[in-house]
Amino acid sequence: MATYTYNSKVFFFVFVLLWASCEGVIKLPGNMTVPAIFAFGDSIVDQGNNNDMKTLVKCNFMPYGKDFEGGVSTGRFCNGKTPPDLIAEELGIAELIPAYLDPNLKPADLKKGVSFASGGCGYDPQTPKLVSVISLSDQLELFKEYIGKLKGVVGEEETHTILTNSIHLLVAGSDDLANTYFTFGVSNLYNLSSYSDLMVSSASSFIQEIYKLGARRIAVFGTPPIGCLPSQRTLAGGGARTCSQKYNQAAQLVNSKFSSQCDSLTKKLPQSRVVYVDIYNPLLDLIQSPQNYGFDVADKGCCGTGNIEVVILCNKYSGTCANDKKYVFWDSYHPTEAGYKVIIDRLLVYWVPLGYISKPHASSPERPRDIRTWVHCVIRDNEGETERLKKLGQNFVKDSLKITSTGHCYGVWSAAAE
């Protein structure tokens, strides 16, 4: 079991409050929260942009979307909602974040945010070319086009307000490592250190480009433990399908560089808040201890055998598990909505009682919602954890607290009545 602690570099929602308190940083109006969510990158945040593209990396067919409202296959690489949807819903922005290339996109939808992401994309320009999807440079052009449309709907001033106060998600890197580097032989051309530098340089350039266009709050998701994804267990984990440590170590190397680069960019770009989001450790904990979160299966997906099925291999003939809420992964590469929700809830709500962010807009009178958070801690850090629990206890009522055999504690805390 990996031992880790959480700090201000780990969770990207730290900046939601920080921008209102740091000197020289843009402040939101008192009656306003985050106005929109924008997403760039790969299949984790692709809401359907690949649907009409000539690529195998698409999923606008069953059983994808089987738990989506109406059982519709929207092109999301999931059985239901994905991170942009869950974040937008929890912050009270919108129920769903649409794909920018959705033919049914309405002008009013533009104000709440869209996704430009494309499944199969990566920081390496060769990654999207290998599977004929939308590159980051092309996503940037779509963002520029979007800004022009938004100005036509709400005007120049409100467009500026929306862009500067919204959250811009950048999620990529998994396909660079799992596909381009390890599968397509790029490892013969680059050593891992050089290739990770290429990835970070590309990410940095992209961040600076969207900054020029008005983005200020930018959340850069780190690479997950790709060696523990079901498909990678099958391909690189040997007969026992164990996690590939080589793949995981590659992800950790990239993440360490991403984290440092995000800090550097925040210092370099005035009024910006570029935050590294640690996905690696929360997802690894979920995979290694699924029972702590109410899951039964974490080493295979719900679709088909769960070992290799993804995109076209996960289809109406594959069959699915009896209860996808008990599975961390939907297919052999992407989490279920239930899996995503655990991670997003931890990212979004953990910092509320510690004063880093205000309560989510979703707690408004129109949509009453208890604020709940999973509290994870390392038992041996007694002094620090005791202080943290005291801080939580000032504003939150303890519902439960359990200690696992691995030395971790977890519990659920609910917002106290005001």
Query: What are the catalytic residues?
Result: 43, 331, 334
> Of 13, 2, 7, 70, nearest to 273 (Cα)?
13
CB distance 79 to 67 below 8 Å: yes
CB distance 176 to 128 below 8 Å: no
Note the Cα 351 to chain centre separation in Å: 17
CB distance 160 to 150 below 8 Å: no
How far is residue 98's CA from residue 85's CA, in Å, rounded to a whole number?
A: 8
How far is residue 340's CA from residue 407's CA, in Å, rounded to a whole number?
A: 24
Q: Supply the DSSP symbol for 335.
A: B
How far is residue 299's CA from residue 290's CA, in Å, rounded to a whole number?
A: 10
CB distance 39 to 24 below 8 Å: no
How far is residue 161's CA from residue 312's CA, in Å, rounded to a whole number?
A: 41
Report CA-CA distances (Å) from 171 to 130, 243, 340, 368: 18, 22, 14, 30
Measured over the CA atoms of residue 337, residue 350, residue 15 and residue 90, the dihedral's sign is: positive
Determine the length of the chain: 418
How far is residue 151's CA from residue 297's CA, in Å, rounded to a whole number?
A: 47
Q: What is the largest CA-CA distance in the chain?
A: 60
How far is residue 309's CA from residue 172's CA, in Å, rounded to a whole number?
A: 21
